[in-house]
Structure 1
Amino acid sequence: MSLLEVTDLKVSFNTSDGVVQAVRGMTFSIDRGKTLGIVGESGSGKSVSTQTLMGLTPGAKVSGQALFEGQDLLSMTPDQLRRIRGPQISMIFQDPLSSLHPLYKVGWQIVEMIRAHEPNVSKADARKRAVELLGMVGIPQPDRRVDDYPHQFSGGMRQRAMIAMALALNPKLIIADEPTTALDATVQAQILDLMLRLQREFDTALIMITHDLGVIADLADDVLVMYAGKPVEQTDRRSLYYRSHHPYSAGLLRSIPSGAGGRGGRLIPIPGQPPSLISPPSGCSFHPRCPYVMDTCRVDEPPLREVAAGHGSACWLPKDALGLGPEAEQLRESAVAEGRTEVGA
C-alpha cells in the first residue's frame, strides 16, 4: 500500500453564483521518499485538493477517499486531523509572511509547534531543536536568528524557516503549495536544492504544487496535470516532457521559452481562458481551447485511460499520438481530419 492513496476526490463550494466544482474527481497515490508534482493553471484545483486532505476547506462538500497509512483523512474528526497535521503531514504555503505570525519570534513559533505536539519536550530542548533546524536549512547564525521576527528575514530566509518548521517533527509527507513562486530565480533554485537534499536525507514523501514546469523538472518523480478541476494526464516526469499525450500538457510545454517545443525560444501560449467551474463545458473541458477538437470531444467526457505503461491521459486522440515531434503532430492532425477517436477507430 502507498503512503497516501486518494480515490475519486470531489470538492465543491456553494456560492451566491452557484456551486463551484473545484475538484471533480481526482485519483493519485504517492510512496514514501517519492515526489509527486501537481501542475496546472491557477484555478485548476491544485491547492484545494491538498488543503481538503488536511481539513483546511471549511464549508466544502467533499466526497471520495484519502487513505494515509490506511486511515481515511476525509472521515477524521478535527481532533484526529490535528494529530496528523504536523507530526505526520506538514504543509509549506506560498507566502511565508502570511503563514508566520508577525508579532512572534520565528524561533518561538517553531518551539510552540514542537511542544503543541510533543508536550513532554521542555522549552529548552525545543529551542535547541529550533536552532538545529534553522541551521540545517541554511540560515546563517541560527543561534542568533532564532530570536528574530519574520519581518527581519528576507523572502528566501522566511521560506527556509517554514521548511524548518515543516521538518520539525520528522513528518512522513510534506505538501508544498507553490513555495517558490514569490522568490527570485537564484533563491528559488537554492530552496529547491534544499528541499531535494532534505527529502533524500529524511526519506520524506513530497507533493509539490506548482504552475512552473521548470520546478517539476528539478524535483518530481511523477506528475499529475490538472485542468478545470480534473486530472488530464498522469505519468512519470520523463514521459510528460518527451512523450506527453494530452493537448493541454503539450500546450504547457510549448509555452516554456526554449523548452520542449523546440521553437527557438518563442512563447506559444494556449489560446482562450480556463472554463468556469460553476458551469464547465460539456464533454472534454479542454475542447473550447483544443487545436485537435473533434465532434465527440464536445459531447463525451474522456476518462483517464492508459495510453502507455503507467501513463494515463484523458483525451480521445489515438494512444500512439505521444510527444511533441512532427510524427505525433501528424497522427493528431490525421485523427482530426478523419474524425477518428480511439473508441471509434
Structure 2
Amino acid sequence: MSLLEVTDLKVSFNTADGVVRAVRGMSFTVDRGRTLGIVGESGSGKSVSTQTLMGLTPGARVEGRALFDGEDLLTVGEKRMRTIRGAQIAMIFQDPLSSLHPLYKVGWQIEEMVRQHEPGAGKEQARKRAVEMLGLVGIPQPERRVDDYPHQFSGGMRQRAMIAMALALNPKLIIADEPTTALDATVQAQILDLMQRLQREFDTALIMITHDLGVIADMADDVLVMYGGKPVEFAGRRDLYYRQHHPYTKGLLQSVPSATGAKGRLRPIPGQPPSLINLPSGCVFHPRCEYVMERCRVDEPPLAPVPSGLGEEGREHVSACWLPHEAVGLGADAERVRRRAAGLDAGGTDDVDGGSR
C-alpha cells in the first residue's frame, strides 16, 4: 500500500463569475522514500490540489478520496487535521518570508511547533531540537541564529529554516510548493541538494511542485503533468523526458533551454492556458495543440496506458491524448502524426507517408 493514494480528486470554487473547476479528477500515489514531481503552467491546479489535501482551501467544494496511511484526509475533522499537519505531513511554501511570522524569532517558531505536537517536550528540549535542526540544514552558528528574526535571514537561509521546521518532527511526507523559485541558481542548487540528502536520511516521501523541469530531472522518481485542472500525463522520469506522449508535455520540454540542448530560439507553447470557468470542449489542450484532430475538439480523452519500456520495471505510463501509441516521443511532424491517427481511427491500414507496413 502506498503512503498516499489520491483518487479522483475534484476541487471547485463558487465565484461571482461562475464555478472555478480548479481540479477536475486527479489521481496519483506516492510511496515512502520516493519523489513525485508535479509540473504545469500557472493555473493548472498543482498548488490547489496539495493545499486541499492539507485542509487549506476553505470554502472549496471537494470530492474524491485521499488515503494517507489508510486515513482519508478529505473527511477527517479540523481537530484531527491539526495533528496530521506538520507532524505527519509538512509543507514548504514558495515564499518563506510570508510563511514565517515576522514578529517571532525563527527558533521560537520551530520550538512552538515541536511543543504543540509533542506535549511532553519541555522548553529546553524544544530549543535544543530547534538548534539541532538549524545546524542540520546548514545554517552557521545555529546556537546564535536561533534567536534571530526572519528578516535577519537571507532568502536562502529562510528557506533552509523552513526545511528545518518541516523536518523537525520527522514527517512521513513533505509537500514542497515551488520551494526555490525566488532563489538564485547557486542557492537553488544548494537547497535542492540539501532536500535530497535529508530525504534519504529520513526516508521521507516528497511531492515537488515546480515550473522548473530541470529540478524535476534532478529530483523526481515519477512525474505528473497537469493542464487545465487535470493530469494529462504520468510516467517515470526517464520515460517522460525521453518518450513523452502528450503534446503538452512535449511543449513544456521544448520551451526550456536545458531540455532541447539545441542552439537558437526557444519554442514556446502558443496561446494561453484555458479559463477554469469556461473550459474548451473535448481535450482542453486542443486550441494550442499542433497535432489537433477533429476528435480532439469533441471528445475528452481519458488517461490510457502508453507502452514505454525506458523506465523502471512496472512503472506506469499513462497519457490523456487521442494520438496513437506509435507517436510516443512525437518525433514525426504534426501532419504525419495526424494522418497516422486518422487511419487508425477509421480502422484502415497502418498508412504512413502513403505506404503500408
TM-score (norm 1): 0.96
Aligned to 1:3: 3
- Provide the residue aligned with 1:37 in structure 2: 37
Task: Tell me the alpha carbon deviations over residues 168-223 of structure 1, each in whole angstroms, 9 at most, x when there is no partner.
Answer: 10000000000000000000000000000000000000000001101101100000
* Percent of residue pairs bearing the same amino acid type: 76
Cα distance in 2, alignment partners of residues 231 and 243 from structure 1: 17
Unaligned runs of 5+ in 1: none
Deviations 1:58-103 (A, max 9, x none): 0000000000011100011000111111111000000000000000
Q: 2: CA distance between counterparts of 1:135 and 1:339? A: 57
Q: How does 1:241-260 map to 2 (within 5 A)?
A: 241-257=241-257, 259-260=258-259
* Structure 1 residue 266 displacement after superposition: 2.7
Match of 2:332 among 323, 329, 332: 329
Cα pair distance change 1:304/1:344, threshold 3 Å = farther
Q: Is the 8 A contact 2:32 2:172 kept in 1?
A: yes
> Could you tell me which residue of structure 1 aligns to residue 275 of structure 2?
276
Residues 247 and 290 in structure 1, CA contact (< 8 A), matched pair in contact too: yes
Deviation at 1:144, TM superposition (A): 0.2
Q: Where does residue 111 of structure 1 map in the other structure? A: 111
Shift of 1:334: 2.0
- Residue 291 of structure 2: aligned partner: 292
Determine the structure 2 residue equivalent to 1:340.
Answer: 342
Q: Distance in 2 between matches of 1:51 and 1:120?
A: 29
Shift of residue 119, structure 1, vs aligned partner: 1.3
Deviation at 1:265, TM superposition (A): 5.0
Q: Of the candidates 305, 325, 328, which is equivalent to residue 319 of structure 1?
A: 325
Partner-residue secondary structure (3-state), 1:336: helix
Separation in 2, partners of 1:317, 1:25: 21
Match of 2:190 in 1: 190
Where in structure 1 do 4 or more consecutive aligned residues deviate above 4 Å? 341-345
On the 8 A contact 2:44/2:227 being kept in 1, the answer is yes
Q: Structure 2 matches for 1:168-183, cutoff 5 A?
A: 168-183=168-183
Aligned to 2:262: 263
Alpha-carbon separation, structure 2, partners of 1:343 and 1:194? 49
Aligned to 1:85: 85
- Report the alpha carbon displacement of residue 319 of structure 1 after superposing the two structures with TM: 0.6
Count the aligned residue pairs. Answer: 340
Whole-angstrom CA distance in 2 between matches of 1:58 and 1:69: 23
Counterpart of 2:224 in 1: which secondary structure? Answer: strand
TM-score by length of 2: 0.93
Matched-pair contact (CA < 8 Å) for 2:10–2:23: yes
The structure-2 alpha-carbon separation of the partners of 1:80 and 1:343, relative to structure 1 and needing over 3 Å to count, comes to: farther
Alpha-carbon distance in 2 for matches of 1:322, 1:137: 41
Secondary structure of 1:329 counterpart: coil
* Distance change (3 Å), C-alpha of 1:241 and 1:265: farther
Letter in 1 for 2:197: R
Residue 300 of structure 2 is aligned to residue 301 of structure 1: yes
Match of 1:239 in 2: 239
Report deviation, 1:262. Answer: 4.1
- Cα distance in 2 for partners of 1:148, 1:260 equals 41
Contact 2:327 2:337 in 1 (8 A): no
Residues 81-90 or 142-151, more deviating: 81-90
Shift of 1:342: 5.8
Letter in 2 for 1:214: G
- Structure 1 residues 342 and 195 mapped into 2: Cα distance closer, same or farther (>3 Å)? farther
2:144 aligned residue:
144
Structure 2 partner of 1:60: 60
